[in-house]
Amino acid sequence: MFDLVLIKVLFGTLLLASSSAVVGVFSFLKGESLVGDAIAHALLPGVVLAFILGEGRHPGYLIIGALTAGLIAHYGIAFIEQRTKLKSDTAVSLVLSTFFGFGILLMSYVQRTGQGQQAGLERFLLGKAAAITMMDLYVFMGLALLLLLGVALFYKGFQLMTFNEDFAAAIGLPTGLIRFAFTVLTVLAVTVGIQTVGVVLMAALLITPSAAARSWTSSLPRMLLLAALFASAAALGGTFISATLPKMPTGPWIVLVLGFFGFSSLILAPEKGWLARRKRATSNRNKTQRENLLKLLYGAEERAGEPVAMTADAMVDAREAHYEGLTMTLRNLKKEFLVVERPDGFALTDMGRSEGRRVVRLHRLWELYLTERLGMAADHIHPQAETMEHVITPEIEALIVKELGNPEVDPHQSPIPYEED
């Protein structure tokens, strides 16, 4: 199984995937994911013209042709955006379709001459990693090293340009040079990848590892490392699947494995994944329902001047809530010893009364802040306070109290209940 062809493909795909993923992180963070796809399609006419003019499939000629076409496409997109009223996605689509159509036209011409099949030029459309030669491998090793060195050399500049280009220009960084270096590296990353996955699937190799890595971390260095690891793992997995199953292409399998990593990360990542966000949303919804009921019971006690009880039906009518969700929240409050069930309904315990008092206090403090500091009308502030009362931390509460000078009543002249000794 471990023959020379497999080893060449394995090392070639590892180099291409990891180096392309590192450069793709900055494209992803800059919001230029589609630009990489446009450049990948725009490389095709450059590759075919290099084949025609270079009289053969020499890697050096093909890379020069691809680099030239990619740079023209990238700056063509920028030119269209600056000189016309077209939006970015429209400019990208225009350049992508024009260059790709021209490339297909040139390929048809070359193949009619009888040399296209011999040169394997069609491999650049969908990729064919098994066709990697030792000469290709040496070239890819050099390009991968160049990409990594370029990212290391311009790391600070790329970082500033990605997150705050105006600040980079303000502190005197050569933004034009940095932008040109980033463009060259992006085009080179796409160029080295099309041999493996082809023009059509190259955008996945450039962007999917970055999207997967972004789900796991907010740190740029860790994101670069994770993107390279995801891409490398996909290259290994896709290569071995292709080698194990008969007549299975390597490039599409690499993209499928990358897609698995990407979707798994979007779903399972501990903080930003769909499951984690759904869990947080459920927790916040339950917290809001819980605090609303405690506030409701505290308000009833405040109006009555003594501890009172409310039935579940009365709470449903007062909160306009669903009966099933409200009764479940009441069961949880009972387990936490915040409410007690009596024959005439549910009543607050001492702990529940303290928690209800806190929520009411935050609500009325925020209403007062909105009227005193933001100048809002007293009859327009209740919805905002209903939301903010659930997210104000003790630190923010202390700042509001200090800012307002220990107020005693809210804009409606209701007392602000502070914690009792």
How many alpha carbons fall within 13 Å on the CB side of residue 189? 33
Average confidence (pLDDT) over 12-19:
82
Task: Supply φ then ψ for residue 342, to 5 degrees.
Answer: -120, 170
Percentage of the chain lying above the pLDDT 70 cut: 91
Domain 4-205 matches domain 280-421 at the CATH topology level: no
Count of beta carbons in the 10 Å neighbourhood of residue 305:
7
Average confidence (pLDDT) over 6-26:
83
Helical packing angle, 175-214 and 134-153, nearest 10°: 110
pLDDT band at residue 294 using 50, 70 and 90 as cut-offs: very high
Average confidence (pLDDT) over 306-323:
87
DSSP reduced 3-state for 151: helix
Q: Which residue has the higher pLDDT, 319 or 406?
A: 406
Average confidence (pLDDT) over 18-24:
86
Fold held by 280-421: Arc Repressor Mutant, subunit A (1.10.10)
DSSP reduced 3-state for 138: helix
pLDDT band at residue 289 using 50, 70 and 90 as cut-offs: very high
Q: What is the CATH number of domain 4-205?
A: 1.10.3470.10
Tell me, what's the pLDDT at 184?
86
Delimit the domains of the chain by residue range. 4-205, 280-421
pLDDT band at residue 341 using 50, 70 and 90 as cut-offs: very high
* Residue that is written with structure tokens 């006419």 in the block: 45
pLDDT band at residue 323 using 50, 70 and 90 as cut-offs: confident
Tell me, what's the pLDDT at 116?
47
Tell me: pLDDT of 221 over 70: yes
Percentage of the chain lying above the pLDDT 90 cut: 41
H helices present in 215-273, as ranges: 220-244, 250-268
pLDDT band at residue 127 using 50, 70 and 90 as cut-offs: low
Which range among 29-33, 169-173, 219-223, 364-368 shows the weakest confidence by mean pLDDT?
29-33
pLDDT band at residue 421 using 50, 70 and 90 as cut-offs: very low
pLDDT band at residue 123 using 50, 70 and 90 as cut-offs: low
Tell me, what's the pLDDT at 59?
65
The DSSP string of 312-360 is HHHHHHHHT--HHHHHHHHHHHHHTTSEEEETTEEEE-HHHHHHHHHHH
CB 254 within 8 A of CB 232: no
Average pLDDT of the chain is 85
The rounded radius of gyration (Å) of the Cα atoms in the chain is 31
Tell me: pLDDT of 325 over 90: no
Tell me: pLDDT of 1 over 50: no
Tell me: pLDDT of 38 over 60: yes
Q: Give me the sign of the Cα torsion angle 272, 273, 276, 277.
A: positive
CB 263 within 8 A of CB 271: no
Average confidence (pLDDT) over 363-382:
92
User: pTM (2 decimals)?
Assistant: 0.79
Tell me, what's the pLDDT at 254?
86
Tell me, what's the pLDDT at 318?
87
Count of beta carbons in the 10 Å neighbourhood of residue 84:
11
Give the bridge partners for 310, in sequence order: 346
Tell me, what's the pLDDT at 53?
78
Average confidence (pLDDT) over 285-310:
93
Tell me, what's the pLDDT at 389?
94
